[in-house]
Chains A and B, each alone.
Chain A
Amino acid sequence: MTASPKVWAILAMSTLESTQALTSFDVHGAANPSSAPSRRPGAMVSAELAMHLLRQMVVIREFEVRCMQAYQDKKIGGFCHVYIGQEAVAVGCTAAIRPSDPMVTAYRDHGHALARGMSANACMAEMFGRVDGCAKGKGGSMHMFDREHNLFGGHGIVGAQIPLGVGLAFACKYEDEVIHERKSDRVALAFLGDGALNQGAFHEAMNLAGLLNTPAVIICENNGYSMGTSIHRGTTMGHNLAAKAAAYGIESAVVDGMDVLSVYESMSLICDRARRESRPAFVDMRTYRFKGHSMSDPRKYRTREEESQYEAGDPITTMKGRMIEAGMLTNEAFKSILREARAEAKASVEFAESSPVPAITELHTDVFVEPWGRYTGSSDPKMLGGARREPSFRAIENSEGLS
């Protein structure tokens, strides 16, 4: 997809030389998509791509609705953080990169996993703690990994994934330039929530990315809240995150994350540049989570009015409206997308329910690539003997590793 000048107009790209070019959003509130210029998908993305973006968002939404149900039914344990409201971000971002580009995210990760290509079945079965889950039921909701689709995890510790993301980018560049001695043209995406802006890991990772010029695109999914703390209560300069990026010599953009076209087009440009010049970028992606932080959050820290204002800018409704306007979609066609997505989500629950629980012996596998046997220093009779099965990952095989 080539960039049209029109796209540049909606993308507020700040460079070190021209930070003034940054659109100054009112603290969080201005992400209201209705204020974005009306845009017709036909002009920028093909009907096929538009359909793909819409469908993926609907699939994630329906999947998350099922998740919430399953959680309430106590079929999913632990913590569960749903992505409803933020679908445009993961969908638009993943559409803008190549399948081979690595990606890493935080614990609100179901949307990223599905957008990246993980099947709803594998994702749901993971949350049910079953063997057909993406990590055989060992990781859970917050820790979604998918090697095939280059998803290097959901990560539960706030901020932990950001340095890892810079490391993924470092490895891309190193492999291309040092091992293969060719110009690098890859990027890695690292997602974080606005709460993670306050972790040392973020600042250290940003400095390293800037210092070593790693092609990491660091995307802050700025939904305005970390649990019950609004961004202005927890973060200095929350209204101008570009200032933080500028401090590390990294270019940044503010993107309307409630508009999947905006996300897709902006990210295409940002990633193109990161590839071409093999350097980092930072994105302040303005979005909103429609539900509570996790499944037990009465949301007393925000008003229902604020919620309905954002809900009026539902990314799915917006995209649907645009496509109908552009003659790419009918109401009937949308209904069938919805039906299919619902069926897929429902089927994933059935799949997860019928998937076997892991054998107890699974407790001991995947601890080491080269197992030397379980720790035998214990008097616990259950702890004697060797690990049964080796993990699939072997860095020394040529078929594995970086490329």
Chain B
Amino acid sequence: MSVREIEYRDALNEAMSEEMRRDKRVFLLGEEVAQYDGAYKVSRGMLAEFGERRIIDTPISESGFAGMAIGAAMMGLRPIVEFMSWSFSLVAADPILNNAPKMLYMSGGQFGCPIVFRGNGGAGGQLGSTHSWCVEGLYSNVPGIKIVMPSTPYEAKGLLKTAIRDDDPVFFLESERMLGTKGEVPESEYLIPFGQARIARAGKDVTLVSFGRPVLFCLEAAETLAKEGISCEVLDMRTIRPLDIGSIVKSVRKTSACVVVDQSWSFASPGSEVAAQVHAACFDDLDNFVHRVHTVDVPTPYATELEQEYLPSARRICEAVRACLYRA
């Protein structure tokens, strides 16, 4: 099986293209996805291959096109909706939170909503308060949504293919900061199931739990800490919902220490949920309470010095690990 190095954006492109070749019900819509090849070039070449009936440019009407796609999904089509940024999904909050995840339940199982919403999330590009949302903090509170956060090109492709084949609404959270990163992706087809964490680095002293881009910060921190004699096990959760608590518990039983790294705000977040679940499941195994590293609890600042301090970083992860292991 041959493997090549491709960019994260091309991994996404391949996943969509392969699924569109496989299933005519799949189509892509969003701002600038067709003629412009995507604002971030994720859908490069797809208009040429699939034509304008399946790669659809929309006006700047998030609420309208998200709702329209949900209607189409209820009819059995399988739309992929690209939000240029997840920050703009807030304009479509009602359809994506009030319609998509509740349709099956409200209809007593009669109407499903097989739809993927995808786009860039997260801060770090000096885009200021309105454009830097980490929507996983908000959206993971809502039942009925599957939330995916790929951290490498390999995960991006395998998870997106699974998302497109999934019969429920999936929120697929990419990162503009990572679109250009390269990684190994097999030529042949593979899918990555939801709810299965990956051990990104094996270790024995502390379990680092993270999602999406901050997994990379954890790996960076693990390198630094290794030099101090601290061995970190880094878990890339891949999906927030479903949450693979089993893998976390298994690791924490081994390490007896847990630090969660989550780029959303700390209050009522995926990080606080993980901490609560670990406390419940591993109460007797832990040597310290679960420590958490989040973005700072303020709106996203523009100035780069402030923004860097605001984000979870390898430095802040190291501090939290040392504190958790009483080495501070």
Interface residue ranges, A against B (CB under 8 Å): 77-79, 126, 129-130, 135, 137-143, 155-160, 195-196, 198-201, 226-229, 233-235, 300-301, 357-358, 360, 362-364, 367, 374-375, 377-383
Contacts and interface: CB of A to CB of B under 8 A. Distances in A.
Interface in B285-304: 289-294, 296-299, 301-304
A380 B320 contact: yes
A139 B128 contact: yes
Given A130-B303, A198-B61, A375-B266, A140 B309 contact: no
B54 interface: no
Contacts, number: 160
Nearest to A158: B60
10 tightest CB-CB pairs across the interface, nearest first?
A: A129-B303, A140-B302, A77-B126, A198-B59, A78-B126, A137-B303, A156-B130, A228-B36, A234-B59, A140-B128
Contacts of B304: 77, 129
27 contacts: A129-B305, A137-B302, A139-B302, A140-B127, A140-B128, A142-B128, A155-B130, A156-B131, A157-B90, A157-B131, A159-B60, A199-B62, A200-B64, A227-B31, A228-B32, A229-B32, A229-B36, A229-B59, A234-B58, A358-B301, A362-B306, A363-B310, A364-B296, A378-B297, A380-B293, A380-B296, A380-B320
B129 interface: yes
B88 interface: yes
A196 B31 CA distance: 13
B70 to A, nearest CB: 15
Contacts of A157: 87-88, 90-91, 130-131
Contacts of B57: 229, 233-234
B35 interface: yes
B283 interface: no
B99 interface: no
Nearest to A235: B59
Q: How large is the interface on B (under 10, 10 to 19, 20 to 34, 35 or more residues)?
A: 35 or more
Nearest to A387: B298
B292 A156 contact: no
Interface string B55-75: 001111111100000000000
B59 A358 contact: no
B313 to A, nearest CB: 11
Given A78-B128, A139-B302, A374 B91 contact: no
B260 to A, nearest CB: 10
Contact of B305 (A159, A360, A383): A360
A381 B322 CA distance: 12
A377 B35 contact: no
A199 B294 contact: no
Nearest to B290: A379
Nearest to B94: A200
Contacts of B301: 137-138, 358, 362-363
A126 B302 CA distance: 9
B105 interface: no
Contacts of B87: 157
Contacts of A360: 305-306, 309
